[in-house]
Each structure stands twice: as structure tokens, then as C-alpha cells.
Structure 1
Amino acid sequence: MALIKSVNGLTPKWGKDCYFSENATIVGEVTMGDECSIWFNAVLRGDVAPITIGNRVNVQDGSCVHVTNTTGPVVIEDDVTIGHNATVHACTIRRGALIGMGATVLDHADIGEGAVVAAGALVLQGTKIGEHEIWGGVPAKFIKKTKPHQAEDFAKHYVEYSKWYL
């Protein structure tokens, strides 16, 4: 079972059919919907501000989702994929978006519906990425529009994968 830890009276909550890897860590004010998966060595630290996650979200191996008490919450909407070793900090990620492996999304960034942040990209503080756009690089810049359902389809795969482990 994952490390589920309360801090300062704040305890993680989640919906039905969620999978948490044995060495995932979920701390504090973290609220998740149904069919979410938190994979090996992923950390969700809602110790100083809330992390709110929708349905069918997957946070893959080695990723970190966190905030600080001065930067506000993390909001991750339904059907989002957070790729391996990504860092997501005090930002908003809209429905169906994909954060690529090793990407970093900084404070107050807003990732649009169905958008893709490419592997290794650095999304700077306050950046707004539009719906169905692909951004990449350091710092991240607009590359092109996505193909239909390009980002959204990743989340469906991880709902299926998580059932193997339940």
C-alpha cells in the first residue's frame, strides 16, 4: 500500500477504483476522483496547499506534484496524464492534457484542454497554453496544434493498466 499521510489534520481523499503503487506517497490535502492511478515513486504533497485531481488522472513513475503556501493550489482536471519524472507545481492542468516525461510546469501556469507539454519541456511561471496546443523546449514555446484526441487517449490506456494492478 502507498504511503498515505495526514499532516496538520489534512488527510488525502479519493474516489473508487483508484490504484496507488506500493511506494507512491500521498500527503495532506489531496482530493482525487475515480479511476486515478499514482505510480511507482510518485509523490503528491498537499501539505501546505490543496491538490485537486479529477477522474481518470494518472501520475506516472517518479513524478512530483506540489505547491508552496504562497503560490496556491494545483488543479488537475479529468483525463490528464502526468508523464514519468515530471514536476507539476502550483498550476492548473485542464481536461485531457498530457504533461510529457521529465517536463516541469511551474507556478500559475495554465495548461489548456487537450494540450501537450513535450518531454523535457520547461513551462515557465504564469505561462498560458491554449487548447490542443503542443509546447516544447526550454523555456517551452508553441510548436503546433495537436491531432484530434492526441493527448486524451493516453489517460484511457492508464485506466486499463491500473486495472492490472488492482
Structure 2
Amino acid sequence: MALIKSVRGFTPKIGNNVYLAENATIIGDVEIGDDCSIWFNAVLRGDVNSIKIGNKVNIQDGAVLHTLYQKSTIEIGDNVSIGHNVCIHGAKIESNALIGIGATILDHAVIGSNSIIAANSLVLTGTIVEPGSVYAGVPAKKVKDIEPGQTKEMIEKISNNYLMYAGWYKES
């Protein structure tokens, strides 16, 4: 069973039909919406400020979500995929986004809806990623706009697949 821990009077709130891997860690002021999956070794540490996660969000293996005390929070919209070993620190991820494997998103950055952050990219503090764009690199810069078909093909497909994968584990 996942480690779910209260701290500073905050107890995580977990929605319906949520899969939590046995070694996922959910601490403090964390709210997880419906149809989400939190995978192996992921850490959602809402000890110093809040983490709010929408519906149909997958947070993949080894991801770390944390904030700055009294200075930043994490907000994640609906239908978002957070790739393996991603670090999100006090940022906002709008709905229908894909954060690639190993990316780092720093405090007060905003990832616009229907956007992709490429694997291993570094989104610096305060960066505003406009909706419908792809950012890549260190530091991350805009490389192109996303065609509407790409959103359906990549972002929605991955999110739907993770909902299916979570179902496999629930059946076991």
C-alpha cells in the first residue's frame, strides 16, 4: 500500500478510481482528482504548500512534486501525463499537457494547455509556455506549435493508456 501521510494538520485527499502504486508517497496538502494514477516511487510532497491534481492525470515512476514554503504551489489540470523521473517544483500545468521523461519544471512556471515539454528539458522559474506549443532544451525554448491532431494522437492517447494500465494493476 502507498505511503499516505498527514503533516501539519493536512491529510491527502484522493478521488475515485485512483491507482496508487505500493511505494508511491503522498504527503500532506495533496488533492488528487478522479481516474488518476500515481506510479512506482513517485513522491507528492505537500508538506510545505499545496499540490492540487485534476482528473485523469498520471504521474509516472520516480516523479517528484514539491513546492516552496509560503511561496509556490502546484496545480495540475485534467488529462495530464507527467513522465518518468520528472521534477515539478511549484509550477502550474494546465489541462491536456505532456511533460516528457526527466524534465524539470521550476517554481512559478506555467505550462499552457495542449502543450508538450520534451524529455530532459529544463523549464526555468517563471517561464510561461504558451498553449499549443512544444518546448525543448536546457533551458527550454519554444521549438514549434502543435497541430490539433497531434494533441489527440499524443497527449490524449498517453493519458488514456495510463488509465488502462492502472486498470491492469487493480485487477491483480
> Which of 135, 149, 155 does residue 159 from structure 2 map onto?
155
Q: CA RMSD in A?
A: 0.8
1:34 to partner: Cα distance: 0.4
8 A contact 1:106–1:125 mirrored in 2: yes
Equivalence for 2:64: 64
Structure 1 window deviating more from structure 2 (149-158 vs 120-129): it is 149-158
Equivalence for 1:122: 122
Query: Equivalences for 1:14-163 in 2 at 5 Å?
Result: 14-147=14-147, 148=149, 149=151, 150-163=154-167
Structure 1 window deviating more from structure 2 (139-148 vs 54-63): it is 139-148
1:8 to partner: Cα distance: 1.1
Structure 1 or 2: more helix by fraction:
2
Counterpart AA for 1:152: E
1:88 to partner: Cα distance: 0.5
Tell me which stretches of 4 or more aligned residues in structure 1 moved more than 3 Å. Answer: none
1:63 to partner: Cα distance: 0.4
Taking only the aligned residue pairs, the percentage that are identical comes to: 51
Which secondary structure does the structure 1 equivalent of 2:167 belong to? helix
Partner Cα distance (1:159, 1:88) in 2: 21
8 A contact 1:19–1:162 mirrored in 2: yes
TM-score, with length taken from structure 1: 0.98
Partner Cα distance (1:141, 1:151) in 2: 20
Structure 1 window deviating more from structure 2 (144-153 vs 121-130): it is 144-153
Partner Cα distance (1:126, 1:152) in 2: 26
1:145 to partner: Cα distance: 1.2
Counterpart AA for 1:139: P
Counterpart AA for 2:69: N
Deviations for 1:117-147, whole angstroms, at most 9, x for unmatched residues? 0000000000000111000000000011123
Partner Cα distance (1:137, 1:152) in 2: 23
8 A contact 1:114–1:152 mirrored in 2: no
Partner Cα distance (1:135, 1:99) in 2: 10
Structure 2: gaps (5+ residues): none
Aligned length: 166
Partner Cα distance (2:111, 2:42) in 1: 20
Which secondary structure does the structure 2 equivalent of 1:151 belong to? helix
TM-score, with length taken from structure 2: 0.94
1:153 to partner: Cα distance: 2.4
8 A contact 1:23–1:41 mirrored in 2: yes
